[in-house]
Amino acid sequence: MRNSDRRLDALGLATLVFVIAGLYMAFLYAQTEVNMGLVYRIFFFHLGAVAAGFFAIIVVAVAGIAYLRTNARAWDRIAESSAEIGIVFCTIALLTGMIWARPIWGVWWTWDPRLTSFLILWLIYIAYLMLRASARDDARVARFSAVFGIVGALNVPIVIMSARVWRGISPVLFQETQQGFTFGLTPEMTQTLVVCITACLLLFFYLLALRTRLEAVRDELVALRRARSAR
C-alpha cells in the first residue's frame, strides 16, 4: 500500500467522523430555533455547502495560476477536479437554500442578493465545465480553463461585496435571517455549525483527492500508451 493511499484513507476516515458528528449535532444536539422551527436545521448543511462551493472556485483559480506559472499538468488536474466537485456543492447550496426559503419566505426563489450571487457562481462553474468540454486539445483546455478559472474567481469577492451594497440600497428579508443566526445562535448551534462546515470542507478535500488521483491514473495510462507507440 502506498503512503499516499494511507493518507487518503485517513482523510476519508476523518471526513466520515465529522459527517456523522455533523448529522447527529444538526438533528439532535442543536435546539430547535424558536421562530423558524425544525426547518432551520437544513441551514447547517446549507452553510457547509456554501463554504465548500466558494472554497472550490478559489482552489480552481489558485491551481489555474499555478498551472500558468509552471505548466505542470498536476495543477490542471486539481483545477478540473475542484470545479467538478465545486458545482456539486454549489448545487446543494442552491437547493437547500430553496428548501429553506419555501417555508420561511413563502417562495422557492427570491432575487435575494446572496441567492443571486450564488446562482452567478453556479453559472460560472457551468461555463467553466462547458469550456473544458469544447476546447480542441489538451494544452489549450488547460490554459483556457486556467484563465477562465482565474477570471471566474475574481468575481467571488466582488460578488459578495456587491451583495452588501445591494442590500444597502434595497433592504430585503435577509435582515431577519441575520438576526436569527448571526446574533441569535446558542453555543450549541455555533458548535454544530462549525462541525458541519468542517465536515463539508473535509468532504470536499477527500473528493478532490480521489478525483485528482483518478485523473493522475488516467494520465499514467496515456503515458504508457505513448511509450508503447513510440517503440
Partner 1 sequence: MSETLIAVERLDKTFGARWALRDVTFNVAQGEIVALVGPNGAGKTTLLRIIGTLARPNAGQIRIGKIPLAEHPNSARAAIGFVGHQTFMYDDLTAWENLNFYARLYDLPNISQRIRQVAARVGIENRLNDVTRTLSRGLQQRLTIARMLLHEPAVLLLDEPYTGLDQVAADLLDQIMADAKPEGRAVLFSTHDLERGLAICDRAIVLKAGRVVHDLSRGAWRNLAGFMEIYARVLEERK
Partner 2 sequence: MKFLRQVLAIVQKDLAAELRTKENLSAMVVFALLVLVIFNFAFELQGVDITVLGSGVLWVAFTFSGILGLGRSFAAEKDKGSLEGVLLSPVDRGAVFLGKATSNFLFITVMEAVTLPLFALLNNVGMPWFPLIPYILLGTLGFAAMGTLLSAVAASTKMREVMLPILLFPVSIPLLMAAVKLTGGALQARAFADVSNWFNILIVYDVIFLVVAFWVFEYVVEE
User: Interface residues with partner 2 (CB under 8 A)?
Assistant: 68, 120, 123-124, 126-127, 130-131, 134-136, 139-140, 143-144, 146-148, 150-152, 154-155, 158-159, 161-162, 165-166, 168-169
Q: Tell me the closest approach of the beta carbon of residue 141 to partner 1, in angstroms.
A: 10
209 binds, options partner 1, partner 2, none, Cβ within 5 to 8 A by partner type: none
Residues 118-157: x/- map of binding to partner 1 (CB under 8 A)? -------------------xx-------------------
Place of cell 513510440: 230
Q: Tell me the closest approach of the beta carbon of residue 150 to partner 2, in angstroms.
A: 6
Residue 3 engages partner 1 in binding (rule: CB under 8 A): no
What is residue 185's DSSP assignment?
A: -
Residues with Cβ within 8 Å of residue 222, at least 6 apart in sequence = none
Residue 229 engages partner 1 in binding (rule: CB under 8 A): yes
Query: In whole angstroms, what is the distance from residue 204 CA to residue 4 CA?
Result: 17
Query: In whole angstroms, what is the distance from residue 166 CA to residue 160 CA?
Result: 10
- Which is nearer to partner 1, 66 or 172 (by Cβ)? 66
User: How many residues line the site for partner 1 (CB under 8 A)?
Assistant: 8
- DSSP character string of 97-124: HHHHHHHHHSSS----HHHHHHHHHHHH
Residue 225 engages partner 1 in binding (rule: CB under 8 A): yes
Residue type, 201: L
Question: 95-117: string of b/e by CB count within 10 Å (b at 16+)?
Answer: ebbbebbeebbeeeeeebbbbbb
226 binds, options partner 2, partner 1, none, Cβ within 5 to 8 A by partner type: partner 1
Report how far apart, in Å, the C-alpha atoms of 122 and of each of 68, 85, 90 are. Answer: 24, 12, 6
Residue 230 engages partner 1 in binding (rule: CB under 8 A): yes
Residues that bind partner 1 (CB under 8 A): 137-138, 222-223, 225-226, 229-230
